[in-house]
Amino acid sequence: MPNWTSRQLQPAPGKYELDPSHWGYQGAFWGCWIAIGLFFGLVYNKLNYAETLTLALFGLFSFLLSELMARYMHYRGWVRGSRRRVFGMLLLAIAAAVVLQVLVDPLFLFVFHTAQPKQLLSAQAILSFTMQFSLSFWCWSAMYHGIHLRRRYEKSEMERLQLEAAVQAAELRALKSQVNPHFLFNCLNNLRSLVAENPTRAREMMLRLSELLRYALEVSRHERVTLAQELDVVEAYLDLESMQFEDRLRWSVEVAPAASEAPVPPMLVQQLVENAIKHGISGRPRGGEIRIRARISGGRLEIEVENTGQLVESAGNGFGLENARQRLRLLCGELAGLTLANRDRDHVAAIASIPLQ
Amino acid sequence: MTLRTLIVEDSRLARAELRRLLESHKEVEVVGEAANADEAEIFIPQLQPDLVLLDIQLPGRNGFELLESLDSAPLVIFTTAYSEYAVRAFEENALDYLLKPVQADRLAKALEKAAEILARREAPVPAEHKDAAASRPPLGARDRVFVRDGENCWFVPLAEVRLLEVEGNYTRLFFGNHHPLIPKTLNYLEGRLDPQTFFRASRQHLVNLSWVKDVEPWFSGSLRLTLKSGQQVEVSRRQAQRFRELMSL
């Protein structure tokens, strides 16, 4: 089962791209291979025509075979970390060593005449060549895998960092959307004025503001609060908005006793009220009224936020509402709903309906 | 020199706070307060303030819409609690704005700048104009109009406006590299602009005469004007006669 899922996440076999510096480390590896051969040739004083040719031909063919191996490994997806890759690589290296002899030995025997059949075709010679070249191909595969392992690690590290940044940005957006900066700065400005005008009330309003901020910052980690808790904060919010709107904002709250202990997602009513203020009060020079009502009916909690004003089609109120609706469904299940409609000629009502468990 | 100032701001506490901040500026005289755009639209022509401290977010029409509705824009310092896009528009055009809560030193700088601009504008409006605001003197080259185009806004001196063009119930203004629309008809503007400066070339166009570089005869008695910007405007046959009269004076 886990294998099945990890397969699903990997791209289909057969499609691959070579690493951008593929040729760089191929050149480096086989360059070193030949350099080491030359070094030992010089040390043992055997660097004659036959030995140099042998070195060059084996180097060239090994390089070409490694290219084939690299492509085969990519094709099978071994470089992406399959469990079978270690065993597969061992076999592949031995096969490559055998193929190398099949390709190169005839050249020595029939083209360059630098070796005798008995030198190359004895069981001992074949075995020793196979061992020797398997070893160099194993080294090569170790290097090739090492590089891809490192690449994969770098890539996953990058992806992890990107994901972390995305999560942080999302959290910040959530925080910002909970406390409207417009509201916050107006609030601070009004508070500043109130300190000079009515210090006692200013002190009271500072408490209300900290109540609201604490709730917005802390409670979002829980999934549910009681309606009574939420309404305490909504009242704090309305008190604060009253500094801005004064007698332009009139409001009332009516909650059936049974409803006050019902669970609600935090900031739900607050958002509806904020929306009501935005459309029903702040845009109207003479202000208006907001009525919040809650009751239990037919196994559901119904919360209604009504404001003065009219819903205008295509007025761009869709996004905030859709957001709130999605959030409500996410937290309270598919049966929860949110509607926004004109109640009469000058009242709009938002109704959230949440099934009780 | 006193700065006769009008405060436009919907929150009473915020108005009181501004008044309190302005107390330490002896050169500032607060001549009135308006709580929304409708009130401000009445007060501005009546009181003819030198300076308006204008909140952008107002109930009903916002601060920009208020300015667009005025024939000529007063000197304005915007105030805003938080501004996502507006501040960008200001910074590009160097319009002054204050973030609320307002810092005393930022306010002092903005007032200083406003006083400088006012001192630089030649010849203050004659006193009789202030008393007889109802007679509404025509707008001359010194007056400014507030123009908004998407995210950008400008206070454009009429001297820089070379051409006005009909666009339905709106009028397209040509100045610098910009040609935004303003929500007024060309006929209305013709009635408000100084006829010595702005000439009605045809049904489509009102031309700033100080921008005319070249005049040549065109088909059947009409004329073609070439502006300093290279734009060409046709003067209808009927208006060509008036143009010749005006020019021969």
Q: Is A209 on the interface with B (CB under 8 A)?
A: no
Residue A112 token pair = 């360059």
Which DSSP symbol is given to A12?
P
Tens-place pLDDT, residues A177-195: 667 888 999 999 999 999 9
Structure pTM?
A: 0.66
List chain A residues with CB under 8 Å of B99: 185
For chain A, the residue count is 357
Q: How far apart are CA B25 and CA B73, in angstroms?
A: 24
Chain B contacts to A (CB-CB under 8 A): 10-14, 16-17, 20, 35-36, 38, 57, 59-60, 81-82, 99-102
Q: Determine which of A186, A206, A247 to mutate to test the interface with B (most B C-beta atoms within 10 Å).
A: A186
**pLDDT (0 to 100) of residue A5:** 36
The whole-chain average pLDDT of chain A stands at 83
Q: Read off the tokens for A308.
A: 């003065």
CB B105 within 8 A of CB B117: no
Judge contact between A70 and A144, C-beta under 8 A: yes
- Select from B221, B222, B180 the least CA-distant residue to B202: B222
What was the pLDDT predicted at A302?
96
DSSP state of A108: I
Cβ separation B13–A194 shorter than 8 A: yes
Q: Contact, B98 vs B79, CB < 8 A?
A: yes
Predicted local distance difference test score (pLDDT) of residue B19: 96
- B60 and A283 within 8 Å at the Cβ level: the answer is yes
Q: Quick check: B223 and B235 in contact, CB under 8 A?
A: yes
B57's tokens: 């977010």
Q: Locate the chain B residue with the closest alpha carbon to A186.
A: B81
> pLDDT band at residue A11, thresholds of 50, 70 and 90?
very low
Most confident of A103-112, A262-271, B33-42: B33-42
Residue A171 confidence class, pLDDT cut points 50, 70, 90: low
Q: How far does the CA of residue A192 sit from the closest CA of chain B (Å)?
A: 7
pLDDT tens for each residue of A116-155: 777 777 888 888 888 888 888 888 888 888 888 888 888 8
pLDDT, residue A188, reads 96
Q: With a cut of 50, which residues of chain B have pLDDT below it?
A: 127-134
A39 vs B200, higher pLDDT: B200
The answer to whether the CB atoms of B14 and A282 lie below 8 A apart is no
**φ and ψ at A294, to 5 degrees?**
-145, 140
- Whole-number pLDDT of residue B66: 93
Beta-bridge partner residues of B163: B174, B207
Residues of A in contact with B12 (CB under 8 A): 246
What is the dihedral angle through the alpha carbons of B132, B136, B142, B148, rounded to the nearest 10 degrees? 130
Which residue in A248, A232, A241 sits closest to A191, CA to CA?
Answer: A241
pLDDT surpassing 60 at residue A337: yes
**Quick one: pLDDT at residue B88?**
59
Torsion of CA B61, B62, B68, B69, to 10 degrees: 30
Q: Which member of B20, B38, B102 has the closest CB to residue A285? A: B38
Nearest CB to A189; choose among B14, B35, B38? B14
pLDDT by residue (tens digit) across B77-92?
Answer: 999 988 765 665 565 5
By CA distance, what is A193's nearest residue in B?
B17
Residue A330 has pLDDT above 80, yes or no: no
Residue A79 backbone dihedrals phi, psi, to 5 degrees? -70, -10
Nearest to B14 among A184, A193, A282 (CB): A193
The answer to whether B57 contacts A181, with C-beta atoms less than 8 Å apart, is no
d(CA B134, CA B56): 27
User: Which chain A residues have a beta carbon less than 8 Å from that of B101?
Assistant: 185, 188-189, 192
Query: For residues A352 and A272, is the Cβ–Cβ distance under 8 A?
Result: yes
Residues in chain A within 8 Å Cβ distance of B102: 189
ipTM of the complex: 0.81
Residue B89's pLDDT is 58
pLDDT at residue A9 is higher than 60: no
Distance of CA A268 to the CA centre of its chain: 27
A172 to chain B nearest CA, in Å?
16
Name chain A contacts of B59, Cβ cutoff 8 Å. Answer: 248, 282-285, 287
Which range, of A4-13, A70-79, A216-225, A284-293, averages the lowest pLDDT?
A4-13
**pLDDT number for residue A6:** 37
Contact B59 A246 (CB under 8 A): no
Residues of chain B contacting A188 with CB distance shorter than 8 Å: 100-101
Q: Please provide the size of chain B in residues.
A: 249
The C-alpha angle with vertex A273 and arms to A271 and A279, in degrees rounded to 5, equals: 105
Q: Check residue B228 and report its DSSP letter.
A: T
Residue A165 CA: distances (Å) to CA of A220, A296, B69: 20, 42, 45
Structure tokens at A44: 């043992």
**pLDDT tens-digit series, residues B155-188:** 888 999 999 999 999 999 999 999 999 889 999 9
Instruction: State yes or no: cis peptide before A2, omega within 30 of 0.
Output: no
**Strand positions, DSSP E, chain A:** 225-226, 249-255, 263-264, 288-297, 300-308, 337-344, 347-355
Q: How many CB atoms lie within 10 A of CB B103?
A: 12
pLDDT value at residue A152: 82
In this structure, the strands spanning B198-200 and B205-208 are antiparallel
Give me the pLDDT at residue A10, please. Answer: 44
Radius of gyration of chain B (CA): 20
Over the Cα atoms of chain A, what is R_g? 38
- What pLDDT score was predicted for residue A106? 82
Q: Which residues pair with B208 in a beta bridge?
A: B198
